[in-house]
Structure 1
Amino acid sequence: MMTESNSSKQGEHAAMDQLFDRLFPICRSITGPGLRQTLSILGEYLPLHVFGTPTGTQVFDWEIPKEWHIREAWLKGPDGQKVVDFTNSNLHVLNYSTPVNQKLTMEKLRPHLHTLSHLPSATPYVTSYYKPRWGFCLPYEQYKQLPEEGQYHAYVDSELVDGELNVAHAILPGESEREILISSYVCHPSLANNELSGPITAAFLYQRLAKWKKRRFTYRFVFVPETIGSITYLHRFGLELKKKLYAGLVLTCVGGKRENGETVPLSYKQSRRGDSPIDEIVQHLFHRQVLSGGVRPFTPIHGSDERQYCSPGFNLPVGQMSRFVYGTYAGYHNSLDTKEFMTITALQQTLDELEQVLLALELDGYYVNMRPYGEVKLDRHNLYPDMNSPNLWGRSSNTVVDGRTLLNQVLTVLNYADGTYTLREVAEACGSNVLDLRTVVEVLQEKGLLKGPYFERQELENHVCE
């Protein structure tokens, strides 16, 4: 018999799969109809507010480019047959290609053809956003078969027009105005792990958090074209983020499986600060083996939009979460990046693990013991545990916690709750993890013995001891 939980998970999996199939064929870029169509579809899954910034607008050191519109593109060989056709794959045309309608020899055509000799069956993804070029992309094995003699016909029906660059966000309110940012990009065409894994995971993470009965933080979900989009978003909302942001994650390449079918562990890139709350919590969960993964140091040399959020003028507490990191798998930026490689199962596992990270952030913070003079007499508050406590003070649990461990957790939490230690630090002192202390904290709060969590350190009131 299928449980409600299993049924819900299967329904979520099917919905994610359906969203992927709707988004994958769209020819996205940093501007234009494909970007807006993508945001419109995502807007069916979470309440997006879409913003437009006109062509020519200066955004810090950048300028909003013209919109790219493409209708048709193909290359015909000397025999009149199509060598590549945009209708078969939107990767076949250079992204942001200028229009062309020209007959030319292979010698003249060759500089406009893009291949990957080390991946002969793959069609590469190539862009030219800020320099006018035209071109086609095709598998190297196909390119090697093209005749040297004869006339080729190159045709791209596209235009660059004044328009706008679009970004979008959805705000999920919490008890506090302090925010957690979840950001992903929506500008690559038909790529799975390197494009759709991030926004699909973000959309369904919003749905999960919306079901929480209580949210300490406000959550800001941002969808932008990579680099220029996050810069544009910061131009509009950067000062607000500097004031409100507590932690953030950029999601990129959060799918992927090994050849044996196993999902790749998480890979976390630190924020520029290196010691922000998100850095500390993720490392804590990895160290305590709540999650499987590794940590990479921050670098501005390569990566995704964390480079913009962490630029020195903003220096926001934003890290990046991946699985198969960009540039480390064969399908990066080419047609081998498919749903079969990415897998919806990996995305759902990412959802589960990101939810754990956010739950840990919700719990973490500074707590204050309301009976700080001497040990609390636990039996007076009906808190002295039995030898075995599978039913933590009337709360169901899937694990049996022995009485001594539970007692140690209670005593340690109360002792270190002086407003100067985070719950993560207390958990480390317990030899435990933040999530293991959730029930202890909630019960102590209900008994009036514990207050928090606070975002900043708290000074204990200087009471007179009697």
Structure 2
Amino acid sequence: MGDDEAAGRRQRVRARMQRLYPLCRSITGDGVRATLDVLEEDLPPGVAMQRHEVPSGTRVHDWVVNDEWNARAAWIADATGRRLVDLARHTLHLVGYSVPVRASMSFEELRPHLHTMPDRPDWIPYRTTYYERTWGFCLAHRDLAVLEEAARLGPLEVVVDTTVGPGSLTYAEVVLPGDEPGEILLTAHLCHPSLANDNLSGLSVATELVRELAGRPRRLGVRLLLAPGTIGSITWLARNGEHLPQVRHGLVLTGLGGPGPLVYKRTRRADRPVDRAAELVVRAHGGQVRDYSPYGYDERQFNALGFDLPVGRISRTPHGEYPEYHTSADDLAFVTDDQLAASYDAVLEVVEALQADVTYRNLSPYGEPQLGRRGLYPTTGGKNATDAVMAMLWLLAASDGATSLVEVAALAGVPVAVLHSAARDLESAGLLAREQAPVDAHQYWSSSARAACAAQRPS
């Protein structure tokens, strides 16, 4: 990849986040749709975004799709009309899903509805009330004294101009078909307002990956799912029961632009092909690998016992482990272009490793075949083997018809891309043959999940 192409990619990722940052997003509503509008504009020609609207009240497994929420305006003003806290200045100022309010209040009446961070007095916290009908404001702790002082001159005007009522939940998919059955699922949540690392980094990097993958050959299809956290993934799972066996590998993408090394979170089983591929790539990038936990992002929905899908997660420093998490300090200055670019590179490497992860059988297993007469070995002896030669030797040593390319990479310490190139050379020379064993869907998805989702399939 040339320097100009890399620079263009960086500019697109940053510009996309800048456009998305001011939008007031939640788990439903026009902010979600506006976000998808921006992402759709950046898709390459010929690649379509499919949007889905799921009506409020729809049961999705143990959950029910919430009423739709939209916010037009919200503020706290003093007796002169001066707005001291204003949604127009920062989307975190309003507690997500706040119900409408229009009242005059004393500071004492207002105080239970105010959320601050005393230990970080300059930061605005992010708070929501999705499933309890109440309201609130978030503000810097230092501004409490400003409100209290203003209230001495007269009641504070409190306005929350929102709607909460029947509507729908919106999610979207972008599908790049492959040459074979099965697909790689990439997913990012889109329900957080004005949080650059914990939301926008995943969305922007995922969109850039689709732009790149759309122009590459694909053995497996690639599906990008853009959905609100938790309720969005559960809704998608409930509505796509028949399709779930096609999910061969998956990655949740979030927190890709903040500080710290890359972190891969394993699937619940910890031994899936995506685990092996991601571990190889993330460790090569100096990152960390962690075991599965049922707390986190949407990987916990895909890994739930009934679904048991092979979906891991890639981030940098995980949620809750950096002080800026879920605060106004997670702004556009908090994420860096270098971190975003390195995350993009790593995820692309994982996807390409999974695309190449097939199984071969050595067709000349009785000793080392003569590579020289096939033009695959240096004509001058006595030198150390090159990387390409070592890749071929490892493939011939390990290709027993059951060991996949990624497993060979783990054994050999050779990048999957190098092995993939060597495998093509050996296959052309008649020394390797790809195994065409059919995929057993039950290896990837439990039969109980199939029955449970079939019962909820929309008529």
For normalisation by structure 2, the TM-score amounts to 0.89
Instruction: Determine the structure 2 residue equivalent to 1:34.
Output: 31
For residue 231 of structure 1, the aligned residue among 223, 231, 234 is 234
Q: 1:451 Cα deviation (Å)?
A: 2.0
1:369-384 equivalences in 2 (<5 Å): 369-384=362-377
Taking a change above 3 Å as real, the CA distance of residues 286 and 32 of structure 1, as seen in their structure-2 partners, is: closer
2:212 alignment counterpart:
208
Aligned to 1:218: 221
Is residue 295 from structure 1 mapped to residue 289 from structure 2 by the alignment? yes
Contact 1:365 1:456 in 2 (8 A): no
Q: Is the 8 A contact 1:360 1:434 kept in 2?
A: yes
- Using a 3 Å threshold, how does the CA distance of structure 1 residues 15 and 409 change in structure 2: closer, same or farther? closer
1:405, CA displacement in angstroms? 5.3
Q: Secondary structure at the match of 2:403?
A: strand
CA distance in 2, matches of 1:383, 1:208: 31
Q: In structure 2, how many angstroms separate the alpha carbons of the residues matched to 1:88 and 1:28?
A: 15
Shift of 1:194: 0.7
In the alignment, the residues of structure 1 paired with residue 81 and residue 242 of structure 2 have an alpha-carbon distance, to the nearest angstrom, of 57
C-alpha contact (below 8 Å) 2:252/2:312 kept by paired residues: yes
Contact 1:113 1:138 in 2 (8 A): yes
Query: Which of 299, 302, 314 is matched with 1:309 structurally?
Result: 302
Letter in 1 for 2:118: S
- Cα distance, 1:117 vs. partner? 0.7
Q: Percent identity?
A: 39
Instruction: Indicate how the Cα distance of structure 1 residues 430 and 92 shifts in structure 2: closer, same or farther if over 3 A, else same.
Output: closer
Question: Which of structures 1 and 2 has the larger relative contact order (alpha carbons within 8 angstroms, sep 6+)?
Answer: 2
**Counterpart Cα distance in 1 of 2:305 and 2:179:** 30
TM-score normalised to structure 1 length? 0.88
The residue number in structure 2 matching 1:426 is 408
Measured against aligned partners, the alpha-carbon deviations of 1:254-294 in whole angstroms (never above 9, x if no partner) come to 1113xxxxxx210111111111111111223345xx22210
Structure 2 gap segments, 5+ residues each: 441-459
User: What does 1:399-438 correspond to in 2, within 5 Å?
Assistant: 402-403=384-385, 406-438=388-420
Deviation at 1:431, TM superposition (A): 4.0
* Helix, strand or coil at the partner of 1:176: coil
Match of 1:255 in 2: 257
Q: Which of 243, 248, 268 is 1:240 aligned to?
A: 243
Structure 1 stretches of 5 or more lacking a match? 258-263, 390-400, 459-466
Output one character per residue of 1:327-354: Cα deviation in whole Å (capped at 9) or x when no partner: 1112111110111111233212211111
* Amino acid across the alignment from 1:273: R
Matches of 2:380 and 2:395 in 1, distance apart?
19
Which of 269, 280, 283 is residue 284 of structure 1 equivalent to? 280
- In 2, Cα distance between the equivalents of 1:122 and 1:25? 17
Native 8 Å contact 2:202 2:255 kept in 1 = yes
DSSP-derived class of the 2:319 partner = coil
- Sort the Cα spacing of 1:23 and 1:457 in 2 relative to 1 into closer, same or farther, 3 A: closer
CA distance in 2, matches of 1:9, 1:67: 39
CA contact (8 A) 2:27 2:229 kept: yes
- Alpha-carbon distance between aligned partners in 2 of 1:74 and 1:190, rounded to the nearest angstrom: 17
User: Structure 1 residues 39, 404: closer, same or farther in 2, change over 3 A?
Assistant: closer
Change (3 A) 1:115 1:388: farther
Equivalent pairs counted in the alignment come to: 433
Q: Please give the residue correspondences for 1:11-410 in structure 2 after superposition, counting only pairs within 5 Å.
A: 11-46=8-43, 47-145=48-146, 146-147=148-149, 149=152, 150-212=154-216, 214-241=217-244, 243-257=245-259, 264-287=260-283, 290-300=284-294, 302-387=295-380, 402-403=384-385, 406-410=388-392
